[in-house]
Structure 1
Amino acid sequence: MIRVLVVDDQQLVRMGLRMLFEQAADIEILGEADNGAEAVRLAERLAPDVVLMDLRMPGMDGITATRRILAARPAARVVALTTFDDDDHLYPVLGAGACGFLVKDTPPAELLNAVRRAADGEAPFSRDTLDRIVAQAVHTRSASDAGPDIPAPAITPREREVLGLLGVGLSNKEIADRLHLGVTTVKTHVASLMTKTGRDNRIRLAVLAVRAGITPD
C-alpha cells in the first residue's frame, strides 16, 4: 500500500484528489494539509511514502516545506503538483529535493501512475516539463560544444540502451517492455548507471543522455 499525504491550500483540489485515490486499491490517503507548516508536521507524524505538494500556499510555501520534510525524512518522495509550470517553480523545488513535477491538469490515470512511480523510486514529470529540461540540456551542450559526459568506468551496451530510453522519459516498465527485460533488471541497470556516472536521480541521467548524444535506436 502506498501511503500518500496531500498538500494543497484549495479544499476542492484536496477533495478531488481524495476521490481519485480512493478508487485505487494500492493507494491510501494518510492525511491532508492546507499549508506548508502543517505538511511538515503531518509528514513527521504520519511518515507518508509520497507527498503531493502544492507550491504556492499562504505561510510556508511548498518549496520550503519540501526541504524541511526531506531533511527530517529523507526516504519520503515529494512530487510537486502545481498550476505553475515554469522554471521559477521547477528548479527551486527540484533543488529542495522533490523527485517529480506535475501540473494540475495531468489526466487522472497519469497522476495515479505518477504516484506509483514515485513510490517505486522513479521521477514522474509532466511531458512538457521533461521536454523543457531536455531541450535546455541540448542547448547547453550546443552552446558549450561539450563532448560526451560519460566518465569511466564505461557503461555497458545494455546500460547505454537504458540510458537512451531514460533520456526520452520512459518509465522502468516502458523500458522493460521496449527492451524485453524484467522491471527488476531495468532497476538494476538504472542503479548501475547512477553509480557509474555519479548522477543520483533519473532526471540527471536523462540530461546526461542528451548531453552525450545517446538516443534510442
Structure 2
Amino acid sequence: MHRSAKRLASLLTCAAVPALLVAGCSGSDSDSSGDASASASSASSAPSRAASPSPTVAPAKFKQLPNPCEVFSKDALKQLVPKVKDAAGERGRSSDSASHGTCSWNSSDEQGVDGTQFRWLGVALQRYDSDPGIGSADKRATNYYAKQIAAAKATPGAEKLKAATTSGTGDEATAITYDAKKDGNDYRNTTVITRLSNVVITINYNGAGLAGADTPKGEDLLKAAQAAAKEAVATTAKAKP
C-alpha cells in the first residue's frame, strides 16, 4: 500500500507539469520499452548499403585485326583487279589499327581497240570491344552491320539496286548490287557486308568498260566479290590471338 501511494503521488506531480515535459516523467519501465522501439525503428529505416552487382557482358572474340592489305591472296587479287597498279594496295590511315583498317586497289586492263576494263576493290574492317555501359562486342558489331547495309542501300544515284543474303560467309552477310553512271560510263557495283562475331567486313567492288569496252556483267562482279568476302573472313578468323 505504501508503494502504491508513492506512485500515485508521482503521477499527480507529473500531471501538473506542462505538456512538453510530460514525456520525461514516465516510469523506468516505459523508458526501457521506448528506447527499444526507437532502435528497432532506426534499424528498419536505415538504407541498404549492399552494393549492386556490376553488369557483365561477354568478352570480345577477336582482339585484333589483320593487315587490311593482306586479307586477299595474290591469286585472288589477280582475279579481282587484273593488271593492278600496286599489288600491295593503298592502306588508309587509322589511329587504332586494332579496331579499324582499310585498303584499296585499282586496275586498268587495256585491251587495245577493245577498250579498257577498269576495276576498283576496297575493303574496310571494323572491330568492336565489349563495354558494360554499351553492350557486348557482338551486339555492337551487329548494330554496325545493319547501319552499313542501310548506308549501301542509300547510295546516291544507285539504279536497279538489289540486296540479298549471302550464305556461308561469317555469321551473317548481305550483298547489295546496283548500277551507276560516272563521267558518261556505266559502272556495275557490288558491296558485300559481313559480320564475323565482333568484326564487320565491308567489301566494295566495281567495274566499268572504258574507251568503248563492254560493261562488265553484274553477276560476274557479284560472284567475285562474294568469293573475296569469304577469303577476307577466313583471314580475319586467323587473327584471333
- Bin of the TM-score, shorter chain as denominator length: under 0.3
Larger of the two Rg values belongs to structure: 2
Greater per-residue strand proportion = 2
TM-score normalized by the length of structure 1: 0.25
Higher relative contact order (CA 8 A, sep 6+): 2
TM-score normalized by the length of structure 2: 0.24
